[in-house]
Each structure stands twice: as C-alpha cells, then as structure tokens.
C-alpha cells in the first residue's frame, strides 16, 4: 500500500509518497526528487539524496540536485546540431558546450501534477524554439513507489523532429546526505564498454571495452581506491549498456552497496547508457539540508539516458 499526499510549497507543490519504511518527496519545480528516506540495517532512517530543505533552494539549483533535465540531458558539442538539413544553435552553458537543456531547461520549470496509482504524474510543455530546440514538445514523468522500488517513466511527444533525452539528476549518498564522501561505497556497473571523452567531456567517438581498464566496474569495486587510481577528477562517463537503436529492453545496469549501513541501490533501465558521475564539481560552497556543505565526491549520480552528444555522432 502506497500513501500519496500533496501540499503547497510556495512556487511549487510537494508530493509525498510512502510505502512501508520508504518515503519519497517529489517537487513540481524541476520535476525533482527532494528526498528519499530509507532505513539502514538497524532500522534507522536517513535521507540518501542531496538537496535543499526549502523549495527556494531549487529556484537556482546550479548542480541540478534531484531534477529532471532536458530537453537533452548531458552535453551537446558546441551547442549545435543539424536536423533535416537545418542547423540549430543552443545556449552555451558548460565550457564550449550545451548542457542539460540550456540556461532555462526543464529543471527550472514548474510542472503540472496529477495523482496516479501509487504515485504522481508531472507534465510540461516546451514550445517550438525553446532554448533553441525545434518543435512543440509535451513531456511527462511519472513517479511510482511500490514496496522498495521507485519507478520513473518518461514520455515525450513532438510535432517536429527534435532530439530528446530525459533523465533524473539525483545525487546519492547511501550513508545519508551530508556524509562527507562516498569512498566506502561499493559500485558495480554491468557495462562491457564506455565512452572516452575529450577535455570538454564530449565523447571522442570511440567505444572502448572496459576490460583491463579502470572503467571495468563489472564486479564490485570500492569507490575510494578506484578514484585514487583514476586520472582526472573522477567518473563523469557514459557506460554503454547496449547500442543506440537496439530494442528498449529493461536491464539491470548498476548496483551500489554501503556496507556500513547495509543500504543497497539497484538501478534498472531501458536506456542504452548510464552516466556515472561522482560529483566532481561540488566544492563545498553549496549548503544543503541541515546546513551540510556538499563537497567533491560527496555523492554519486547514475543518470540513465541516451549516449551523450548522440545527435552529432554516428556510433
């Protein structure tokens, strides 16, 4: 049995879903996950996602805590693409590239809401030319909480050919949000290959096997020791679950364990990739729930999505 209730929170609504000992709070601002509370092995409950206690914190939300990002999650090289022989130019907001839908993407919108069985459906309309993208687009995201499973169903319909790539950008720390780092987490990602990136985090075009590399996470890996070995600030890479265009079959893609609390996060998806990100660009300046300073490597993201810059790359 899932309990669903709604309350007004200033510029947005907050929906609370509860099933057994697990509770999830969803905001209409950014269609975001504000909190996920779940017990540890001794029954002590904690919030395992980073974010803000007040809705006002999500009005700017520069690191996309909990939000649904779009029209296109991840990066588009140089903010340009060609569709039907016409070039489109997007807002540049990440070095030389476009990121997560632009300056005012779906994470900044207040979505409309309606109750559904065991959850809530949120909807948003994006007009032709929004952030440079062609076509009128209607999108919806449905969150359902059943027992210990939170499902997220994305839907989009447009009147013109346009790229679309929606994902949720929740930051997880299974020890509880506000814990300084994720070095004691064990990570498994069921991917045979990954996408190397250039110095602006755009895929190079190579699909590289993970075998005999530091990106081989097919067996549980202690994150702290692997991050010490990994060149650069951390993981911010697409792990390939299948090829784009393959049938959209649901598959388990990732499992993260925190031995200290016994909490386990398992992720399944129909998408061809999952972006594994270790909060490399948090630097302690953002203060979140309980006044916690969110620092580098204080959380991880598992963003199920299409491969980055897919609109410009034939792989």
255 is in an annotated binding site: no
pLDDT digits (tens, 9 = 90+) for 100-116: 999 999 999 999 999 99
> Does residue 311 have a pLDDT over 60?
yes
pLDDT score recorded for residue 247: 87
CA 83 to each of CA 135, 149, 244, 245: distance values in angstroms, whole numbers, following the listed order = 11, 38, 18, 17
| Residue 93 near residue 103 (C-beta atoms within 8 A) | yes
pTM, two decimal places: 0.97
75 is in an annotated binding site: yes
37 is in an annotated binding site: no
The confidence band for 315, taking pLDDT boundaries of 50, 70 and 90, is low
Nearest alpha-carbon partner for 220 in 250, 258, 270, 273? 258
pLDDT digits (tens, 9 = 90+) for 162-214: 999 999 999 999 999 999 999 999 999 999 999 999 999 999 999 999 999 99
236 is in an annotated binding site: yes
pLDDT score recorded for residue 103: 96
Domains of the chain: 3-305 (2.70.98.10)
Residues with a catalytic annotation lie at 169, 303
């Amino acid at each position: 049995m899932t309990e669903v209730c709604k309350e007004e929170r200033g510029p947005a609504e907050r929906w609370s879903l509860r099933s057994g000992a697990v509770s999830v709070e969803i905001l209409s601002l950014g269609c975001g996950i504000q909190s996920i509370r779940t017990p540890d092995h001794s029954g002590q409950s904690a919030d395992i996602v980073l974010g803000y206690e007040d809705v006002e914190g999500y009005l700017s939300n520069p690191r996309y805590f909990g939000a649904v990002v779009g029209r296109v999650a991840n990066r588009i090289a140089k903010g340009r693409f060609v569709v039907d022989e016409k070039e489109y130019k997007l807002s540049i907001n990440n070095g030389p590239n476009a990121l997560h839908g632009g300056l005012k993407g779906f994470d900044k919108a207040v979505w409309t809401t309606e109750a559904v069985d065991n959850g809530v459906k949120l909807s948003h309309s994006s007009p032709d030319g929004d952030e440079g993208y062609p076509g009128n687009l209607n999108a919806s995201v449905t969150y359902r909480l059943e027992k210990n499973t939170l499902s997220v169903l994305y839907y989009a319909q447009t009147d013109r050919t346009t790229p679309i790539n929606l994902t949720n950008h929740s930051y997880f720390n299974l020890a509880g949000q506000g814990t300084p780092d994720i070095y004691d987490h064990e990570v498994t990602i069921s991917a045979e290959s990954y996408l190397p990136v250039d110095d602006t985090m755009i895929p190079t075009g190579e699909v590289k096997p993970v075998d005999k590399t530091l990106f081989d996470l097919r067996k549980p890996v202690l994150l702290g020791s692997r991050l010490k070995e990994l060149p650069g600030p951390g993981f911010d890479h697409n792990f390939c679950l299948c090829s784009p265009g393959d049938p959209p079959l649901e598959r388990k893609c990732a499992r993260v364990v925190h031995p200290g609390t016994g909490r386990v996060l398992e992720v399944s998806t129909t998408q061809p990739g999952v972006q594994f990100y270790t909060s490399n660009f948090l630097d302690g300046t953002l203060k979140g729930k309980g006044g916690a300073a969110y620092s580098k490597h204080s959380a991880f993201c598992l963003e199920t999505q299409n491969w980055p810059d897919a609109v410009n790359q034939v792989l």
